[in-house]
């Protein structure tokens, strides 16, 4: 994973006023998916905000509307394919919003 992801996790902790492992995991996985499936150096926008009802919403936007996340069930000996399964296990819900300027993958987690 690129060196910017730990910096991004630190910025999320500062934004939230402390650690929140679920939010940090979701940000890492969603940004990591952009890097792996769209390409390093792809511009991304990360948004973390209160969604109400005790939830935090995480959104990661990128310019490629075609590279959509897929929930896989990795076999025991697979070396990849677990990122969206981790996100699915942690998030209350998640989805993808496609538009002319790309896509936004979002998820919501319970506030800690």
The answer to whether 105 and 33 have CB atoms below 8 angstroms apart is: yes
pTM, two decimal places: 0.89
What pLDDT band is residue 74 in, cutting at 50, 70 and 90? low
d(CA 5, CA 21): 14
d(CA 55, CA 77): 34
What does the pLDDT look like over 14-66, one tens digit per residue? 988 988 999 999 999 999 999 988 998 999 999 999 998 999 999 999 999 99
The answer to whether 57 and 110 have CB atoms below 8 angstroms apart is: no
d(CA 32, CA 26): 10
């Amino acid at each position: 994973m690129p060196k910017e992801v730990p910096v991004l996790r630190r910025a999320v902790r500062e934004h939230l006023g402390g650690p929140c492992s679920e939010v940090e995991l979701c940000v890492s996985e969603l940004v990591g998916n952009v890097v792996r499936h769209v390409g390093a150096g792809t511009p991304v926008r990360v948004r973390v905000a209160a969604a109400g009802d005790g939830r935090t919403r995480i959104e990661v936007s990128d310019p490629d509307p075609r590279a959509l996340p897929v929930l896989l069930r990795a076999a025991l000996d697979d070396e990849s394919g677990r990122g969206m399964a981790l996100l699915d296990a942690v998030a209350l819900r998640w989805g993808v919003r496609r538009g002319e300027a790309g896509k936004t993958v979002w998820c919501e987690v319970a506030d800690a």
